[in-house]
């Protein structure tokens, strides 16, 4: 579990921050008529914010791949 959390730390933070931002967007700006699919409902707005936050911060995750810069493609 610790490896998972450490590996996906940026994504987890993005989901949490996105959920909070999505909720506050509904609370202070949201759609008052009820015709907006995302912002008329606090659950939809919160889930959408969480998804967008997770996607945004997951792009900053480093890949720990080793690249061979010598041009030698042989396995060692």
Where do the structural domains in the chain lie, given as residue ranges?
2-58
pLDDT tens-digit map of 27-51? 999 887 878 888 889 999 999 999 9
Contact 10, 57 (CB under 8 A): yes
Q: Which of 20, 26, 29, 75 is nearest to 53 (CA)?
A: 20
- Is the predicted pLDDT of residue 76 greater than 60, yes or no? no
The pTM for the full model equals: 0.74
The maximal CA–CA distance of the chain, rounded, in angstroms, is: 65
pLDDT tens-digit map of 4-17? 888 888 999 999 99
């Amino acid at each position: 579990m610790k490896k998972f959390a450490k590996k996906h730390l940026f994504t987890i933070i993005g989901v949490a921050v996105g959920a909070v931002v999505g909720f506050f967007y509904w609370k202070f700006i949201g759609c008052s008529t009820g015709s907006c699919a995302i912002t008329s409902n606090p659950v939809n707005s919160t889930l959408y914010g969480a998804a967008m936050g997770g996607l945004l911060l997951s792009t900053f995750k480093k890949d720990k791949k080793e690249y061979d810069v010598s041009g030698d493609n042989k396995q060692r």
